[in-house]
């Protein structure tokens, strides 16, 4: 650009009465144009980044919010004593009994082949059948009576009510045929099927049936795992940082530790998974896919970030505090633990919470230590098989049923809410307690 | 359970030692704690540490390594009945014996005849060994606690420098904690090298690094397709590189330009809104990006290219059109673009720090010469910040290479040696995940190859980080 400016200034002899000025003006104009252009590029970059953010969050909300509404069906079921074998309660076909009740509501008869009842069974979750079994087990005297059960409709029926499965689609391309759709309309009209908030999504664990799948098991698993991570990474990380920042002599050995920590912070998370697999599972025989082993792996992963955050919090405490404490006769340890560390605590906690939030969203290393397995219940403890929220997202994303896709997005929303809460806690902590020296 | 109970007892014992030590010190001072060398609590802490810490360490080690000791003792003597089994089956035999003894669920293997007798014998033995190891650990811990307390308590006296001793303990603890980080690295290196070494015993390292065919499934039958057991990782490296390149093409300009705009042009209000939003983008878990890539970007790109293909079909470029119409959801471009989005905040915040670290005097000098803002940025700030920005880009590359979830969910599994961004490729991390999830027999080269890939990944990212840190360090010296 400078060369161009010089050339423009060198040529202009016969350009009119004030050639110098107009050349300079032209040059200036060009420079301002390039200035505008550059600024526009910067703005464009920001706008692009913001668009990505909006599209990302918007798509997930759009895909996931429908999960929070669900449709449930309430039918009076006659527990026909002829059909229920009291000696083998588990072997009874409760789904058929429920289907019978629904057919009665619909005023239709089953044919000899059971096609109709089969079609009805495709509309109602097996959850109702399990409820009947539980009720009979709790009180066998209900056999022969009519009881009211309420449970979710099948995921496909739910998708129809939500408009995801449309009548306009050709019949053979839909999971539900015209007759089934007509039944569903009828059931909704007479109030047998009602829409409502999907409580089950928060009170149930993973299931192979989308309408019965929930995030409770994964949330509990994540919580147990984070407890382990926090109990190991925070104390060890803070104490290591205190040593390096306040006590360690400056020598090659501490340099090695320092370089090491910086490098550890940038090791890909999947490598920690390999470490966990080789060290904790194959060598120490920690139970696979347990919150314990997951917590250990994530603790190793979070350790360098906790150390780095703590060190910068300690650095922010002015030396005058240390000098004053030492001046009145405190020992080095007393200075640090009675004065410096408490003053650095807000910064330390902020860093710790942020690295725990990061650990909460981590998936890759957990795949290595067997967390992808299907775990239907709430984890029993630190050594029981469990799953965690991000892995649950991964598992559901791989599921082929369409209804799992909205659940995946909803699980992501739950995960994001937890992360937002943790980040907000960190920000509040920083705002509330941060001191400027 | 037993360990927790003994730890509880130990804690009570340490508390008693604390009170005793403190009481003894106060008694020696005649109630006037001023006469003591240290505060009374330090005497208590000293006694409690000796009473509690070594024993607690012993219990902890017992809990961690007890299982391995039991296993080793149990396997020391192998019954003749299992000699005919393969080593794998022998391991199953022993783990079943331990599982039955611990009343856990054993494997589904059925044992009959001599094997059943041998199993029952081992079950009984295992129960005995477990009891022996557990109780002897606890007995030993109790003994250590008692000796510790008995050694520490008599030393408590007027002139005893309890605080210094306690601080010595604290110092030891601090050093142990900071060594933990080094031990993690050592653990990573050792486990990767060890397992890779076992892998390289069956596969030539050169064939691994330079081979161009990757199909780790080893054929069970001779007629199986794509299961030759070839471990040439070049297609994986190429796929990783391709996706990284696409990601950097998105992340580098967007990240860098937004950093420049934020640090040089934006006023405080814009900064205070945009920076936290970028942090949100940085805080989104990668599995979420993976979901976004697989279910939103993938189908979108596919529809886009299919539509272009349909538009061009029958024209002069019919070959390309036919290809575009068959593009699938899983392609390198999708994974690369989404990974680029993920890296934008990373590049932006690193570059922002570096640009802000350029001294204000350089800007002022440039403005004083009449330069516009963009000229200052292009001619003064960027050249000054160039090493730092290079380092930031290298760190972003390292992140892209090690990123797992996005590529696992959006890139694909087919190991192809291609530079076509519309093709499905696979990466090092995807293969590690695929090889190690699901059923695995641990000693097969297929499983072990994941560690070979892991070692390569670790070395590459480590090298990138070290180079980046070096560049940053060198650059810092110029202005400080």
| A199, pLDDT greater than 50 | yes
> Do A201 and A225 lie in a common domain?
no
> Do A89 and A60 lie in a common domain?
no
> Do B196 and B255 lie in a common domain?
no
> Do A103 and A116 lie in a common domain?
yes
| Domain finish residue from A156, A184, A207 | A207
> pLDDT tens, A213-258?
889 999 999 999 999 999 999 999 999 999 999 998 888 888 888 8
Instruction: Give the domain extent around B171.
Output: 162-200
Compute the nearest-CA separation of A83 from chain B (Å). 35
The number of domains in chain A is: 3
What's the confidence (pLDDT) of residue B309?
Answer: 86
Average pLDDT over residues B48-60: 92
What's the confidence (pLDDT) of residue A56?
Answer: 93
> Do A45 and A86 lie in a common domain?
no
Sign of CA dihedral A49, A54, A59, A61: positive
Residue B207 lies in a domain: no
Residues of chain B found within 8 Å of residue A229, distances taken between Cβ atoms: none
> Do A199 and A282 lie in a common domain?
no
Which value, in Å, is the radius of gyration of the alpha carbons in chain B?
Answer: 32
Tell me whether residues B170 and A60 touch, CB distance under 8 A: no
> Do A239 and A336 lie in a common domain?
yes
> pLDDT tens, B14-43?
999 999 999 998 888 887 878 888 888 999
The number of domains in chain B is: 3
Tell me whether residues A394 and B405 touch, CB distance under 8 A: yes
Give the lowest-confidence range in A116-125, B355-364, B390-399: A116-125
Residues of chain B found within 8 Å of residue A363, distances taken between Cβ atoms: 285-287, 404-405
| B225, pLDDT greater than 60 | no
| B364, pLDDT greater than 70 | yes
| Domain finish residue from A22, A48, A65 | A65
Count how many pairs of residues, chain A against chain B, have C-beta atoms within 8 Å.
260
Nearest residue of chain A to residue B473 (CA atoms): A259
What share of chain B in percent tops pLDDT 70? 95
- Nearest Cα residue to B407 out of B436, B390, B383, B428: B428
> Do A287 and A191 lie in a common domain?
no
Give the lowest-confidence range in A13-22, A312-321, B43-52: A13-22
> Do B86 and B153 lie in a common domain?
yes
Instruction: Give the domain extent around A148.
Output: 69-207
| A291, pLDDT greater than 80 | yes
Residues of chain B found within 8 Å of residue A31, distances taken between Cβ atoms: 372, 375
> Do B55 and B177 lie in a common domain?
no
> Do B35 and B111 lie in a common domain?
yes
Tell me whether residues B404 and A284 touch, CB distance under 8 A: no
| A13, pLDDT greater than 60 | no
> Do B226 and B302 lie in a common domain?
yes
Does A227 or B79 have the greater pLDDT score? Answer: A227
Mutation target to probe the A interface, by most A beta carbons within 10 A, among B178, B188, B366 is B178
Tell me whether residues B462 and A263 touch, CB distance under 8 A: yes
What's the confidence (pLDDT) of residue B454?
Answer: 94
> Do A270 and A401 lie in a common domain?
yes
Residues of chain B found within 8 Å of residue A333, distances taken between Cβ atoms: 167, 170-171
Tell me whether residues A331 and B167 touch, CB distance under 8 A: yes
What's the confidence (pLDDT) of residue A348?
Answer: 92
Given A34, A284, A405, which is nearest B374 (Cβ)?
A: A34
Tell me whether residues A45 and B462 touch, CB distance under 8 A: no
> Do A254 and A379 lie in a common domain?
yes
> Do B334 and B318 lie in a common domain?
yes
The whole-chain average pLDDT of chain A stands at 86
Token reading at B38 = 């240290």
> Do B289 and B407 lie in a common domain?
yes
> Do B373 and B314 lie in a common domain?
yes
Residues of chain B found within 8 Å of residue A264, distances taken between Cβ atoms: 181, 184-185
Is B462 an 8 Å CB contact of chain A? yes
Average pLDDT over residues B206-212: 87
Q: How far apart are CA B115 and CA A301, in angstroms?
A: 44
- CATH classification at residue A307: 1.10.3720.10
> Do A59 and A74 lie in a common domain?
no
Mutation target to probe the A interface, by most A beta carbons within 10 A, among B34, B175, B180, B271 is B180
What's the confidence (pLDDT) of residue B226?
Answer: 46
Compute the nearest-CA separation of B354 from chain A (Å). 17
| B229, pLDDT greater than 90 | no
What's the confidence (pLDDT) of residue A1?
Answer: 43
| Domain finish residue from A188, A207, A226 | A207
Does B443 or B237 have the greater pLDDT score? Answer: B237
> pLDDT tens, A82-118?
777 777 777 778 888 888 888 888 888 777 777 888 8
Residue B209 lies in a domain: no
Average pLDDT over residues B102-131: 80
What's the confidence (pLDDT) of residue A19?
Answer: 57
By the 8 A CB rule, do B43 and B160 touch?
Answer: yes
| Domain finish residue from B170, B200, B230 | B200
Residues of chain A found within 8 Å of residue B374, distances taken between Cβ atoms: 34-35, 37-39
Compute the nearest-CA separation of A148 from chain B (Å). 39
Residues of chain B found within 8 Å of residue A39, distances taken between Cβ atoms: 261, 265, 373-374
What's the confidence (pLDDT) of residue A8?
Answer: 47
| B56, pLDDT greater than 50 | yes
Tell me whether residues B374 and A419 touch, CB distance under 8 A: no
Tell me whether residues A368 and B405 touch, CB distance under 8 A: no
What's the confidence (pLDDT) of residue B228?
Answer: 54
Compute the nearest-CA separation of A93 from chain B (Å). 29
The whole-chain average pLDDT of chain B stands at 86
> pLDDT tens, B235-285?
999 999 999 999 999 999 999 999 999 999 998 999 889 988 888 888 899
Residue B206 lies in a domain: no
Written in H, E and C, the secondary structure of chain A is CHHHHHHHHHCCCCCCCCHHHHHHHHHHHHHHHHHHHHHHHHHHHHHHHHHHHHHHHHHHHHHHHHHHEEEEEEEEEECCCCCCCCCCHHHCCHHHHHHHHHHHHHCCCCCCCCHHHHHHHCCECCHHHHHHHHHHHHCHHHCCCEEEEEEEECHHHHHHHCCCCCCCCCHHHCCCCHHHHHHHHHHHHCCCEEEEECCHHHHCCCCCCHHHCCCHHHHHHHHHHHHHHHHHHHHHHHHHHHHHHHHCCCCHHHHHHHHHHHHHCCCCHHHHHHHHHHHHHHHCCCCCCCHHHHHHHHHHHHHHHHHHHHHHHHHHCCHHHHHHHHHCCCCHHHHHHHHHHHHHHHHHHHHHHHHHHHHHCCCHHHHHCCCCCCCCCCCCCCCCCCCCHHHHHHHHHHCCCHHHHHHHHHHHHHHHHHHHHHHHHHHHHHHHHCCCC
> Do B177 and B221 lie in a common domain?
no
Does B335 or B473 have the greater pLDDT score? Answer: B335
> Do A89 and A42 lie in a common domain?
no
> pLDDT tens, B158-206?
888 889 999 999 999 999 998 888 899 999 999 999 989 988 888 888 8
Residue B208 lies in a domain: no
A16 band by pLDDT with thresholds 50, 70 and 90: low
What share of chain B in percent tops pLDDT 90? 43
Is B206 an 8 Å CB contact of chain A? no
What's the confidence (pLDDT) of residue A2?
Answer: 46
Given A268, A367, A370, which is nearest B402 (Cβ)?
A: A268
Nearest residue of chain A to residue B42 (CA atoms): A334
> Do B101 and B224 lie in a common domain?
no
Given B195, B292, B457, which is nearest A271 (Cβ)?
A: B457
Residue B397 lies in a domain: yes
> pLDDT tens, B457-478?
999 999 999 898 888 777 665 5
> Do A49 and A80 lie in a common domain?
no
Residue B205 lies in a domain: no
What's the confidence (pLDDT) of residue B443?
Answer: 66
Given B187, B291, B402, which is nearest A279 (Cβ)?
A: B187
This model of the complex carries an ipTM of 0.88
Compute the nearest-CA separation of B347 from chain A (Å). 12
> Do B112 and B127 lie in a common domain?
yes
Residues of chain A found within 8 Å of residue B295, distances taken between Cβ atoms: 63, 397, 405, 408
A186 band by pLDDT with thresholds 50, 70 and 90: confident
């Amino acid at each position: 650009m400078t060369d161009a400016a010089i050339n423009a200034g060198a040529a202009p002899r016969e350009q009119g009465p004030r050639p110098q000025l107009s050349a300079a003006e032209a040059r200036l104009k060009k420079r301002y144009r390039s200035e505008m252009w550059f600024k526009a590029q910067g703005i464009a970059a920001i706008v692009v980044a913001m668009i990505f953010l909006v599209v990302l969050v918007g798509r997930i909300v759009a895909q996931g919010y429908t999960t929070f509404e669900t449709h449930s069906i309430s039918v009076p079921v006659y527990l026909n004593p002829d059909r229920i074998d009291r000696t083998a309660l588990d072997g009874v076909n409760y789904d058929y009994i429920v289907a019978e009740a629904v057919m009665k509501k619909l005023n239709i008869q089953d044919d000899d082949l059971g096609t109709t009842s089969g079609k009805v069974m495709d509309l109602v979750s097996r959850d109702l059948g399990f409820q009947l079994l539980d009720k009979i087990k709790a009180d066998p005297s209900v056999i022969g009576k009519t009881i009211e059960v309420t449970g979710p409709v099948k995921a496909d029926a739910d998708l129809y009510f939500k408009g995801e499965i449309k009548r306009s689609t050709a019949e053979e391309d839909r999971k539900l045929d015209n007759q089934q759709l007509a039944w569903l309309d009828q059931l909704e009209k007479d109030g047998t099927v009602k829409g409502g908030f999907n409580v089950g999504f928060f009170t149930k664990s993973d299931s192979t049936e989308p309408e019965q799948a929930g995030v409770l098991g994964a949330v509990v698993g994540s919580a147990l795992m984070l407890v382990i991570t926090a109990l190991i990474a925070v104390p060890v990380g803070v104490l290591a940082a205190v040593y390096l920042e306040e006590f360690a002599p400056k020598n090659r050995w501490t340099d090695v530790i320092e370089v090491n920590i910086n490098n550890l912070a940038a090791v890909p998370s999947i490598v920690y998974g390999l470490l966990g697999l080789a060290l904790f599972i194959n060598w120490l025989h920690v139970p696979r896919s347990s919150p314990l082993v997951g917590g250990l792996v994530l603790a190793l992963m979070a350790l360098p970030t906790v150390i780095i955050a703590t060190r910068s919090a300690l650095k922010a405490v002015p030396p005058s505090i240390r000098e004053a404490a030492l001046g009145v006769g405190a020992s080095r340890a007393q200075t640090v633990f009675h004065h410096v560390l408490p003053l650095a605590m807000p910064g330390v906690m902020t860093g710790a919470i942020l690295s725990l939030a990061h650990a909460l969203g981590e998936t890759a290393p957990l795949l290595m230590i067997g967390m992808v397995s299907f775990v239907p219940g709430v984890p029993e403890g630190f050594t029981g098989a469990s799953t965690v929220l991000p892995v649950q997202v991964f598992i559901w994303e791989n599921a082929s049923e369409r209804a799992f896709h909205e659940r995946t997005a909803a699980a992501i929303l739950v995960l994001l809410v937890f992360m937002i809460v943790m980040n907000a806690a960190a920000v509040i902590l920083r705002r509330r307690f941060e001191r400027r020296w | 359970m037993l360990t927790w109970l003994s730890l509880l007892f130990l804690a009570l014992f340490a508390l008693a030692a604390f009170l005793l030590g403190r009481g003894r010190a106060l008694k020696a001072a005649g109630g006037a704690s001023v006469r003591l060398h240290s505060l009374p609590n330090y005497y208590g802490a000293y006694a409690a540490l000796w009473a509690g810490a070594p024993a607690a360490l012993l219990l902890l080690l017992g809990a961690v390594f007890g299982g391995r000791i039991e296993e080793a003792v149990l396997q020391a003597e192998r019954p003749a009945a299992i000699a005919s089994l393969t080593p794998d089956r022998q391991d199953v035999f022993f783990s079943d014996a331990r599982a039955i003894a611990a009343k856990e669920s054993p494997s589904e293997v059925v044992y009959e005849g001599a094997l059943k007798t041998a199993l029952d014998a081992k079950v009984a033995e295992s129960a005995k060994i477990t009891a022996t190891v557990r109780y002897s650990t606890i007995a030993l811990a109790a003994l250590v606690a008692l000796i510790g307390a008995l050694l520490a308590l008599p030393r408590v006296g007027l002139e005893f420098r309890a605080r210094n001793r306690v601080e010595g303990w604290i110092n030891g603890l601090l050093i142990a904690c900071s060594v933990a980080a080094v031990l993690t690295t050592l653990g990573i290196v050792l486990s990767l090298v060890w397992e890779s070494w076992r892998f390289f015993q069956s596969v030539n390292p050169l064939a691994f690094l330079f081979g161009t065919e990757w199909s780790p499934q080893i054929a069970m039958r001779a007629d199986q397709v794509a299961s030759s057991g070839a471990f040439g990782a070049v297609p994986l490296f190429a796929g990783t590189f391709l996706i990284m390149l696409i990601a950097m093409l998105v992340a580098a300009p967007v990240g860098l330009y937004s950093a420049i705009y934020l640090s040089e042009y934006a006023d405080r209000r814009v900064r205070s809104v945009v920076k936290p939003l970028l942090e949100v983008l940085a805080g989104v878990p990668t599995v979420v990006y993976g979901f976004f890539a697989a279910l939103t970007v993938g189908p979108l790109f596919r529809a886009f290219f299919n539509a272009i293909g349909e538009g061009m079909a029958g024209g002069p470029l019919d070959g390309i059109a036919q290809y575009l119409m068959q593009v699938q959801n899983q392609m390198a471009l999708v994974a690369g673009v989404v990974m680029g989005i993920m890296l934008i905040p990373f590049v932006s915040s690193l570059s922002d720090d570096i640009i802000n670290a350029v001294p204000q005097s350089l800007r002022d000098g440039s403005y004083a010469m009449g330069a516009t803002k963009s000229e200052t940025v292009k001619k003064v700030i960027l050249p000054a910040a160039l090493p730092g920005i290079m380092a930031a880009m290298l760190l972003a590359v390292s992140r892209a290479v090690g990123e797992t979830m996005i590529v696992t969910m959006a890139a694909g599994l087919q190991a192809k040696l291609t530079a076509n961004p519309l093709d499905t490729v696979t990466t090092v991390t995807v293969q590690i995940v695929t090889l190690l999830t699901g059923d695995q027999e641990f000693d097969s080269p297929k499983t072990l190859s994941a560690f070979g890939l892991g070692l390569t990944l670790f070395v590459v990212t480590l090298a990138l980080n070290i180079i980046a840190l070096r560049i940053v360090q060198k650059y810092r010296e110029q202005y400080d």
